[in-house]
Amino acid sequence: MLTNIKFNQLGKIESSIQFKHLYLLAFTLYLLPLLSACTRLPNVQGKGEDFMQGVWNQDSVAYSKKLSNYTKHHFKFTCDSVYIDFETHSKVNFYEDSCYNNGIWKEYAKGVYGVKGDTLIVGATFTHANYKQKISGCYRIGRYERNFLIKKKSADTLVLESMSDQREITLSLKEKVTCVQKEL
């Protein structure tokens, strides 16, 4: 490389073109791993977990007669989406009288889920009964973020334990759903 060095009239080295190529090569080699690490994800929803696909109901709550409040869950897992219906029974009024509804009310949430090891991770938003976002009204609004330990799974039974309050939720499969991925 030093043999290609030329001197101009002022005695300056004219090998700057070769150095520019060397810098360009080094810069390209630096960026290549960064650019190849990024891949565009397909514009469709994820498949979710096969064993979760379906409509699951909690038919009863253990010790419900002795509890001051409890919630029955209804889950629908389709691909990586989850739709949750909550039916809360309460002997204590936590809300305005117009919302209390004689101690029985329903709430709804829609979101996505993932399973990592033995943990079900749910990220959802509270909605109206039509699963459109709820921004005001009775009961809870905003995000529903929960993790559940999957204690048992079989073809027709799913036993979850809430990691926030350690309550066990025993779900029975009411309808099997086949995942048909939709565009986002």
Q: What is the pLDDT of residues 9-19, one digit of tens each?
A: 555 555 555 66
- 62 plus 110 within the same structural domain: yes
CB 79 within 8 A of CB 179: yes
Q: Are residues 81 and 162 in the same domain?
A: yes
Closest alpha carbon to 146 in 173, 125, 128, 117: 125
Mean pLDDT of the chain: 86
Q: Answer positive or negative: Cα dihedral of 125, 127, 132, 137.
A: negative
169 in the same domain as 114: yes
Within a domain: residue 183?
A: no
Specify whether 64 is located in the same domain as 90: yes
Give the count of domains, the chain.
2
Backbone φ and ψ for 120, nearest 5 degrees, come out as -95, 125
Q: Tell me: do 28 and 118 sit in the same domain.
A: no
Shared-domain flag, residues 11 and 79: no
71 within some domain: yes
Q: Are residues 32 and 72 in the same domain?
A: no
Residue pLDDT, tens place only, 32-90: 676 666 677 678 888 999 999 999 999 999 889 999 999 999 999 999 999 999 999 99
Domain presence at residue 108? yes
Looking at residue 65, the DSSP 8-state letter turns out to be T
Residue 182 lies in a domain: no
Round to the nearest angstrom and report the end-to-end CA distance of the chain: 55
pTM, two decimals, is 0.75
In the predicted model, what is the mean pLDDT of residues 107-126? 97
Give the separation between CA 148 and CA 104, rounded to whole angstroms.
24
Looking at residues 2-10, what average pLDDT do you find?
56
- The CA distance from 128 to 137, in Å, is 9
Same domain, yes or no: 32 and 56: no
* DSSP designation for 41: P
Range of 167's domain? Answer: 50-175
Q: 180 lies in a domain?
A: no
Q: What is the mean pLDDT of residues 104-111?
A: 96
Q: Same domain for 27 and 65? A: no
Q: Does 95 share its domain with 158?
A: yes
Helix (H, G, I), strand (E, B) or coil at 54: strand
